[in-house]
């Protein structure tokens, strides 16, 4: 049965591509994915699978209950897009100005939908229950995973698996980590209030632009001089806005950025040190400030047994040439919330498009669609291996 299902998934390749490209042309940003959610529920209506919609917002969960006893396993795919203008010149280019699927969530959705279609004919032969967990709003904290869990998404679930199509990894490769995989992702906002004035009379001002520049430089020393070198950490100032014209000294400045860490102690240390730096520099320059720090997604920490299961099952899946452990990455993912509640693992499915070097979240991002059936097959194989081992 397993090998036949693999063949059936492969036979749905053209449909996966069609779905992926349709969603790519009609993207919706986080928390506004009403039409995408409707597309998903319409698909399950045609399959005749029961589902629950509006889970924690725009989430959808379809259920396939096998005819044989077994565990309940959730397989997750996200479906939100990003506020980025699509700059690719392809037939399936986004038709929505300023919005595109720049991270592969369209492919995640296409893979999971077609996996469900492939499995329906085998329902009586399958062990346990599969939940096809379609999650909204992964891209923007507080995200969709947490409210979906709060709305009962994991009730009765024994394990959860998810994959991310990854444009930095060649097609045919599966990658994961035995424990920590994705960093916790926080964001911050800082405002500096000085005193503006004439560009020719700086002595009568408190130059917020200069003060902000001092702060940007100072903040970079927190990771390099305060954090243990053996601890992974990133502090990035992503925006710096100050001033209105060439001959006016800015009275205010705004900085935003992100912090990435893997453990709570390092996270707390960075917050304390940031407050010290901001307070000290503003006091030295006799100005005021506000500092808002939002703790975002926790780190994605795989469960060792389930991560090993992914590697072992993927290595025996048609289309996979290599399944390997890799070093953690500093990007963030709200799949972390599922792993805080249930055993499971998250992994990369290689989707690098040959000759196309654009990374995730780039206006020209694209992926190799040959990865779509591989992601579906490896998710299903992980499900089956979990049933066998439990």
CATH superfamily entry for domain 2-183+299-389: Zn peptidases (3.40.630.10)
pLDDT tens-digit readout, 76-109: 999 999 999 999 999 999 999 999 999 999 999 9
Tell me: is residue 164 an annotated ligand-binding position: yes
Q: Give residue 146's pLDDT.
A: 98
Query: Where are the chain's structural domains?
Result: 2-183+299-389, 184-297
Tens of each residue's pLDDT in the chain, 390 residues = 999 999 999 999 999 999 999 999 999 999 999 999 999 999 999 999 999 999 999 999 999 999 999 999 999 999 999 999 999 999 999 999 999 999 999 999 999 999 999 999 999 999 999 999 999 999 999 999 999 999 999 999 999 999 999 999 999 999 999 999 999 999 999 999 999 999 999 999 999 999 999 999 999 999 999 999 999 999 999 999 999 999 999 999 999 999 999 999 999 999 999 999 999 999 999 999 999 999 999 999 999 999 999 999 999 999 999 999 999 999 999 999 999 999 999 999 999 999 998 999 999 999 999 999 999 999 999 999 999 999
Tell me: is residue 362 an annotated ligand-binding position: no
Tell me: is residue 105 an annotated ligand-binding position: yes
Q: Look up 80 and say whether it is catalytic.
A: yes
Instruction: Please give the share of the chain, as a percent, with pLDDT higher than 90.
Output: 99
Query: What global pTM score does this model have?
Result: 0.94
The DSSP result for 355-382, as a single string, is T----TT-TT----TTHHHHHHHHHHHH
Q: Look up 45 and say whether it is catalytic.
A: no
Q: What angle do CA 323, 326, 329 make, to 5 degrees?
A: 135
Tell me: is residue 32 an annotated ligand-binding position: no
* Fold adopted by 184-297: Alpha-Beta Plaits (3.30.70)
Q: Give residue 367's pLDDT.
A: 97
Helix or strand (DSSP H, E) at 186: strand 184-193
* 287 to 14, 39, 208, 242, 252: CA distances (angstroms): 61, 52, 8, 15, 10
Tell me: is residue 381 an annotated ligand-binding position: no
Q: Give residue 357's pLDDT.
A: 84
Q: Which of 8, 28, 86, 138 is catalytic?
A: 138
* 229 to 190, 222, 225, 273, 277: CA distances (angstroms): 26, 11, 9, 16, 20
Q: Give residue 34's pLDDT.
A: 98
Closest to 222 (Cα-Cα) out of 237, 213, 235 = 235
Q: Which of 8, 78, 80, 368 is catalytic?
A: 80
């Amino acid at each position: 049965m397993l090998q036949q299902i693999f063949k059936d998934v492969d036979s749905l390749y053209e449909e996966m591509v069609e779905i992926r490209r349709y969603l790519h042309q009609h993207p919706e940003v986080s928390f506004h994915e009403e039409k995408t959610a409707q597309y998903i529920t319409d698909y399950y209506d045609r399959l005749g699978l029961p589902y629950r919609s509006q889970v924690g917002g725009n989430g959808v969960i379809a259920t396939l209950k096998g005819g044989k006893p077994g565990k309940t396993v959730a397989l997750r795919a996200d479906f939100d897009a990003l506020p980025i203008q699509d700059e690719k010149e392809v037939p399936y280019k986004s038709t929505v100005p300023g919005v595109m699927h720049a991270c592969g969530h369209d492919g995640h959705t296409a893979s999971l939908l077609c996996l469900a279609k492939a499995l329906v004919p085998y329902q009586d032969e399958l062990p346990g229950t599969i939940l096809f967990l379609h999650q909204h709003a992964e891209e923007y904290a507080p995200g969709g995973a947490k409210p979906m869990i709060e709305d009962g998404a994991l009730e009765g679930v024994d394990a959860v698996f998810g994959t991310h199509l990854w444009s930095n990894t060649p097609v045919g490769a599966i990658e994961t980590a035995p424990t920590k995989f994705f960093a916790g992702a926080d964001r911050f906002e800082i405002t500096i209030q000085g005193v503006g004035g004439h560009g020719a009379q700086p002595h009568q001002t408190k130059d917020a632009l200069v003060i902000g520049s001092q702060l940007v430089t100072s903040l970079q020393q927190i990771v390099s001089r305060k954090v243990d070198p053996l601890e992974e950490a990133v502090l990035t100032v992503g925006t710096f806005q100050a001033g209105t014209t060439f001959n006016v000294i800015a009275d205010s400045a705004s900085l935003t950025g992100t912090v990435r860490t893997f453990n709570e102690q390092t996270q707390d240390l960075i917050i304390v040190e940031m407050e010290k730096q901001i307070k000290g520099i503003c006091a030295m320059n006799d100005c005021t400030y506000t500092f808002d720090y939002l703790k975002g997604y926790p780190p994605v920490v795989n469960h060792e047994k389930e991560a090993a299961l992914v590697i072992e099952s993927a290595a025996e899946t048609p289309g996979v040439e290599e399944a390997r452990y890799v070093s953690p990455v500093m990007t963030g993912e709200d799949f972390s919330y599922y792993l805080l509640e249930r055993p499971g693992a998250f992994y990369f499915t290689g989707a690098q498009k040959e000759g196309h070097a654009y990374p995730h979240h780039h206006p020209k991002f694209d992926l190799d669609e040959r990865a779509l059936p591989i992601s579906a097959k490896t998710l299903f194989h992980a499900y089956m291996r979990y049933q066998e081992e439990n």
